[in-house]
Amino acid sequence: MMKKTWAALLTAAMTAATLAGCANANSAGSAPATTAAAAETKAAGESKAADAGATTDWPKKAVTVTLPYSAGGDTDTYCRALFQAVGEKLGQNFVITNLTGGSGLVAAKDVMSKAPDGYNIFFTHTGAALVQEAMGTADFSYTDNFTNVCTVAEDATYTLVALSPNGSYKQYSRGWNNLEDMIADAKANPGVVRYSTVFGSTTQYVGNSLEKAAGIQFDNIDVGTAAGDRLAAFLGGQVDLIAVNYMNVEDYIEKGDVIALGVFSDKPMDGVDVKTLKEQGYDCKSTKKYEVKFPAGADQAIVDKLSAACKEVAESEEFKKTLATYHAAPLYRDAETTGKEDKAEVEELKAAMAQ
């Protein structure tokens, strides 16, 4: 598990230090008009950043960034990469705080209660947040009850995995070699196949979607919210199936201990030989988009300044390379686009759940 070990060491090192401080450049050979347009867009962005900087001296002290998941997972990894670079651009420390509980609700409400003075930031992803909003698990709106800043990345690697019948944990395997083996087993034994779910989150949504699409019924078991806890329960035989970001199980798949049954995405991951659920006849998908928010009522000049800094990072080659390590990609959306598209996605989720 060299990749996993390296990622853990990197996270530990970045956690130990106070973090200082969000798509891709045009390809070579672009037509002159395209190059000119790109330069004009870049200049406009730099002008906006300069204007924002001229109207506010924020940040004058360290900024707290709260995320709702444990250290070492996808949200934590992307958050730390983003705000280390943002802190370097803005000349202040951005201190990362992991506040778990309630599939993100504890952290969300904590940040909502803070003053909108620019010194408390909420970093989360749409996978759980918008599902909670659509299901009514959250008694607030992740758009209306926060001040959106921007979106910086997306991850469409949510993967359904099972234990290999030939791996190190074969004593807990149900003997499946592919998705159809699992579905056949689940149809023959309704309510027996144990699926790791976190109620009111992405895992519940994609699990329910697959149940409907395949005409099967799982035994849905909550073995913890954090990816690490769920993975430990899975490897320990407490559940038969788990859906997680690919980065969390890549080493186990490469070793042959875990089998990837399918990816909940519209398109396959680059460089990974795993079919999507859609390619296998089951239209089940979920893409996480990672967002930056302030408590409601934040000053627009501060929002603009942070958004401009995040945009610079999101469009940088360094950030792109970091995300590519985990098969994710930069995605910058400004505050208005983030809010508009999130609201539309909530309505889509409500319609899908009603079917």
| Residue-level pLDDT, tens digit, the chain, 355 residues | 334 433 443 343 333 333 333 333 333 333 333 344 444 444 444 445 445 555 899 999 999 999 998 888 889 999 999 999 999 999 999 999 999 888 789 999 999 999 999 999 999 999 889 989 998 889 999 999 999 999 999 999 999 999 999 999 999 999 999 999 999 999 999 999 999 998 878 888 899 999 999 999 999 999 987 788 899 999 999 999 999 999 999 999 999 999 999 999 988 888 899 999 999 999 999 999 999 999 999 999 999 999 999 999 999 999 999 999 999 999 999 999 999 999 999 999 888 888 7
The one-letter amino acid code at 248 reads N
Buried b (16+ CB within 10 A) or exposed e, 68-98: bbbbbbbbbbbbbbbbbbbbeebebbbbbeb
Q: Which domains does the chain show, CATH number per domain?
A: 2-155+288-354 (3.40.190.150), 158-263 (3.40.190.10)
Q: Is 103 helix (H, G, I), strand (E, B) or coil?
A: helix
Looking at residue 16, what is its pLDDT?
38
- Asked if residues 175 and 279 have their Cβ atoms less than 8 Å apart, the reply is no
Whole-angstrom CA distances from 59 to 91, 93, 116, 299 are 8, 9, 13, 12
Rounded CA-CA distance 210/336 in Å is: 32
Q: What is the pTM of this model?
A: 0.80
Of 67, 88, 86, the residue nearest 76 (C-alpha):
67
Which helix (H) or strand (E) segment holds residue 40: the answer is: helix 32-55
Looking at residue 91, what is its pLDDT?
97
Q: Which residues pair with 194 in a beta bridge?
A: 219
Phi, psi dihedral angles at 65 (to 5 degrees): -115, 115
Looking at residue 127, what is its pLDDT?
87
Q: Which residue has the tokens 């992307």?
A: 78
Whole-angstrom CA distances from 190 to 66, 218, 233, 355 are 40, 7, 22, 21
Q: Is 152 helix (H, G, I), strand (E, B) or coil?
A: strand
- Asked if residues 329 and 153 have their Cβ atoms less than 8 Å apart, the reply is yes
Of 274, 190, 203, the residue nearest 234 (C-alpha):
203
